[in-house]
């Protein structure tokens, strides 16, 4: 082969590399953007705790671009956090954000409502979700001041839904159909899942955690969480946008959330049944799930919380 020939081969190899090498989806600050279909995206926030850098956006958000504007699943943890979500959306579409759905009452699901309301968006949430937001607002603001600080909190104020629903709610927005299904108490007193039947995409909210260990809190219920997961799974989603972690499959969601919840309840039950001392509950061997982020920090606390739940059951 002459020099010209070699050069030509090199150019082809280079072009092939450029075309075939997967590149990370564009990201803005701490979000990783995952494209699911042409119009459906996940904004994946960090898996760790709230910090001044992530502005309490340590969760995964959903974006649906319709022919009549953007539907956003969960609004971010602060005013500035909501602004950051909006900046990321502007990289994906020129459409305005028309509707925001709060999937539960946790700070990073709704404290950005005020920002999006100012942009002209309507907010929709389940009645019990709004009640949960109201009940926990003071705690959330104190916690946020301690984690993201005053500068991160600047501009944040509580704004609740413009539209409240009680039962399953179907929405047709432009060319997209969405189903909002309340699934009862799970990670929070009122969790909602959002289903796109045509695209078979499930925005599970905190019904599903992947890559990081889920957190059972005093306001959670690990028993009905299992039922909520089963309700979600019955839709047989092809893609799940979890509350925390990357877009995932039902199989992986089962492994990281459902199997862990069942394992945790069974092992705490056995421990108590064998007359174990609650002070030692942290010693239950949860190492089968040690691959999950935040494992060391959460495993003992989760066992303790489930123990308290089972005492009431």
Q: Rank residues 30 and 199 by Cβ distance to Zn ion and give the closer one.
A: 30
Output the smallest distance, CB 128 to Zn ion, in A: 17
Footprint of Zn ion on 223-282 (CB under 5 A): none
Question: Measuring CA to CA, which residue among 245, 249, 203, 200 is closest to residue 73?
Answer: 203
CA distance 127 to 107: 16
Q: Please say which residue, 59 or 71, places its beta carbon nearer to Zn ion.
A: 59
Compute the least distance from the CB of residue 91 to Zn ion, in Å: 24
Residues 30-59 that bind Zn ion (CB under 5 A): 59
Q: Which is nearer to Zn ion, 102 or 106 (CB)?
A: 106
Site string for Zn ion, 96-115 (x = CB under 5 A): ----------x---------
Q: In the window 199-218, what residues touch Zn ion (CB under 5 A)? A: 206
139 versus 266: smaller Cβ distance to Zn ion: 139
Distances in Å between the Cα of 305 and the Cα atoms of 50, 260, 279, 281, 301 are 21, 14, 12, 10, 6
Q: What distance in Å separates the CA atoms of residue 70 and residue 59, rounded to the nearest whole number? A: 19
Nearest CB to Zn ion, comparing residues 59 and 253 = 59
Smallest distance from Zn ion to CB 299, Å: 18
Choice between 106 and 159, CB closer to Zn ion: 106
Count the residues of the shown chain that bind Zn ion, applying the rule CB under 5 A: 3
Q: Are 196 and 178 in contact (CB under 8 A)?
A: yes
Shortest distance (Å) from residue 108 CB to Zn ion = 6
CB of 287 to Zn ion, least distance (A): 24
Smallest separation, CB 106 to Zn ion (Å): 5
Q: Which of residues 147-206 bind Zn ion (CB under 5 A)?
A: 206
Contact between residue 85 and residue 56 where contact means Cβ atoms under 8 Å apart: no
Binding footprint of Zn ion on the chain (CB under 5 A): 59, 106, 206
């Amino acid at each position: 082969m002459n020099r010209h020939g070699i050069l030509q081969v090199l150019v082809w190899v280079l072009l092939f590399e450029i075309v075939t090498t997967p590149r990370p989806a564009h990201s803005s600050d701490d979000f990783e953007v995952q494209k699911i279909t042409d119009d459906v995206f996940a904004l994946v926030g960090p898996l760790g705790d709230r910090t001044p850098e992530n502005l309490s956006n340590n969760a995964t958000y959903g974006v649906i671009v319709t022919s009549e504007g953007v539907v956003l699943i969960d609004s971010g943890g602060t005013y500035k956090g909501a602004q950051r979500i909006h900046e990321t959306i502007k990289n994906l579409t020129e459409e305005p954000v028309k509707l925001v759905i709060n999937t539960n009452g946790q700070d990073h699901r709704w404290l950005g409502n005020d920002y999006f309301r100012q942009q002209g968006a309507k907010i929709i949430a389940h009645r019990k979700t709004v009640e949960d937001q109201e009940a926990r607002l003071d705690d959330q603001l104190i916690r946020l001041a301690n984690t993201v600080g005053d500068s991160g909190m600047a501009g944040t104020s509580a704004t609740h839904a413009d539209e409240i629903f009680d039962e399953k709610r179907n929405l047709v927005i432009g060319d997209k159909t969405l189903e909002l299904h309340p699934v009862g108490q799970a990670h929070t007193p009122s969790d909602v899942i959002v289903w796109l039947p045509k695209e078979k995409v499930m925005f599970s909210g905190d019904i599903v955690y992947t890559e990081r260990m889920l957190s059972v809190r005093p306001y959670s219920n690990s028993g009905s969480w299992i039922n909520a997961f089963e309700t979600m799974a019955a839709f047989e989603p092809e893609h799940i946008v979890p509350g925390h972690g990357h877009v995932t499959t039902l199989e992986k969601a089962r492994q990281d959330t459902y199997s862990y919840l069942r394992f945790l309840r069974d092992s705490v039950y056995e421990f108590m049944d064998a007359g174990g001392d609650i002070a030692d509950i942290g010693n239950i061997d949860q190492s089968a799930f040690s691959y999950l982020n935040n494992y060391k920090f959460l495993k003992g606390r989760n066992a303790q919380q489930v123990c308290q739940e089972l005492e009431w059951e």
